Amino acid sequence: MPPCERPREKLLANGVNALSNTELLAILLSTGTKEMSAIDLAKNIICSSKEGIRFFADCTMEELRSINGVGMAKASQIIAAVELGKRIALTTKANNYKIKSPDDVSLLVMEEMRYLKKEYFNIILLNTKNEVIDIENISIGSLNSSIVHPREVFIRAIKRTSSSIILVHNHPSGDPTPSPEDVNITKRLVESGKLIGIEVLDHIIIGDNIYSSLKEKNMI
């Protein structure tokens, strides 16, 4: 490959925006295999799923290692890079981000949560000005009252001196319609919050680019 077409050289000469998704992944992989260059391997990984680069949003080590040419080391590099990107994006968004409406919550978490293949139950911790202190994960997997326990929710809020919280979880189906279990868990946490003095402002359910607010639906 001519030097001017090599991903690293292109990055140095033209900046990161000049690189394709395949070239960015090739730089991350660093090397290919005996049969494939880093570019060919990157292309193979991206084309392994109909989702394209969306595949990386919630891929597992096992899924990556099932792709020809990807071993534990390269799978670990990809998983770590994706997670670092998520954390940077979330930290940047959350810094002094003020929640005024369910739309603000959606703007904050939609892109991170809409493609998740499992249910993630998170809490958004807020200060007295409704500014985001942090977002913490409470559980992963199908929601039930034994997994989402008030103790686990409010101990995080107490440690961070939050004045209020917003509950957020996703529906991998893409349909954010609240289930009976969603409503029951919300009511339980709202009542617990009243006793502790930390208000549960809302419960937002994330679908595929659509959300439901239990407060707007008068379920809180």
pLDDT at 186: 95
The mean pLDDT value of the chain amounts to 90
User: Mapped to the 3 state alphabet, what secondary structure does 130-177 carry?
Assistant: CEEEEEEEEEECCCCCCCCCHHHHHHHHHHCCCCEEEEEEECCCCCCC
From first CA to last CA, the distance across the chain in angstroms is: 61
Average the pLDDT over 7-16 and give the result: 89
pLDDT tens-digit readout, 48-97: 988 888 888 878 999 999 999 999 999 999 999 998 887 777 666 666 68
Lowest-confidence region among 119-123, 141-145, 164-168: 141-145
Which of 193, 207, 208, 121 shows the shortest CA–CA distance to 163? 193
Q: What is the DSSP letter of 214?
A: T
pLDDT at 168: 97
pLDDT at 59: 87
